[in-house]
Amino acid sequence: MEIEIRLEEEKEYRLVEELTREAFWNVNFPGCAEHLLIHTLRNTKEFIKELDFVAVCNNTLAGNIVYATTKVKDNNKEHRVLTFGPLSVLPVYQNKGVGSKLVAHTVILAQKMGYKAVIIYGDPEYYKRFGFKESKEYKITNKEKKYPAALLVLELYAGALNGIKGVFEEGAIYEVDEKELEEFEKGFKKKEKDVTKSQERFMEIANKYV
């Protein structure tokens, strides 16, 4: 299958929100919030338009990745890093290399743009293939000064994080307001919320610390 990776166009914003909703629906909890997240993120100063990519397969928007700037705070010092997410692939196109191609393509670009590192919350099983490591290796914690198993770090060049440690601050952009989500959902085709096996795995990883 041919996978074309290219920048997202503004006219595709709504379609990408729909694809994000399809990708995440019932995956982490009944329903999902990632379509609202991406909708909100695009209007923040942290959003990086140059790293907002889609994957096109068979003339269909099959996947998307978005990045934002964020920081690692070390007492009163702040270090700018990147984060990405949501990373979404339409269910019918999953496990065909689309997600991997989106990550690989944008990571190289981010490196060329001069960023030091990408820090995300994600499934270590999936992200270790790209070189992501436990945040503990870099002494980068969450706000509670803990090392969640899902907090993963990718240095974009050797030694990029030398001398950089501290608290990863994802920022308010990744917080979801339940009332806003309820309203936003009304603009989409109705989908049934359900309890699924993947939610168990999500909770297991979310509650794991290293």
Ligand X SMILES: CC(C)(COP(=O)(O)OP(=O)(O)OC[C@H]1O[C@@H](n2cnc3c(N)ncnc32)[C@H](O)[C@@H]1OP(=O)(O)O)[C@@H](O)C(=O)NCCC(=O)NCCS
**Rule CB under 6 A: which residues touch ligand X?**
23-24, 27, 87-89, 94-100, 122-123, 125-126
How many C-beta neighbours within 10 Å does residue 20 have?
A: 26
Pairwise CA distance, residues 32 & 172, whole Å: 18
User: 121 vs 184, which CB is nearer to ligand X?
Assistant: 121
User: 20 vs 40, which CB is nearer to ligand X?
Assistant: 20
We find the least distance from the C-beta atom of residue 114 to ligand X, in angstroms, to be: 25
We find the least distance from the C-beta atom of residue 119 to ligand X, in angstroms, to be: 13
We find the least distance from the C-beta atom of residue 96 to ligand X, in angstroms, to be: 5
How many C-beta neighbours within 10 Å does residue 78 have?
A: 12
User: 23 vs 110, which CB is nearer to ligand X?
Assistant: 23
Residue in the shown chain whose Cβ atom is closest to ligand X: 99
Residues 131, 163: contact at Cβ < 8 Å? no
Helices 13-24, 34-41: axis angle to 10 degrees equals: 150
Pairwise CA distance, residues 166 & 151, whole Å: 13
We find the least distance from the C-beta atom of residue 62 to ligand X, in angstroms, to be: 8
User: 77 vs 191, which CB is nearer to ligand X?
Assistant: 191
Q: Is the peptide bond before 86 cis (omega within 30 degrees of 0)?
A: yes
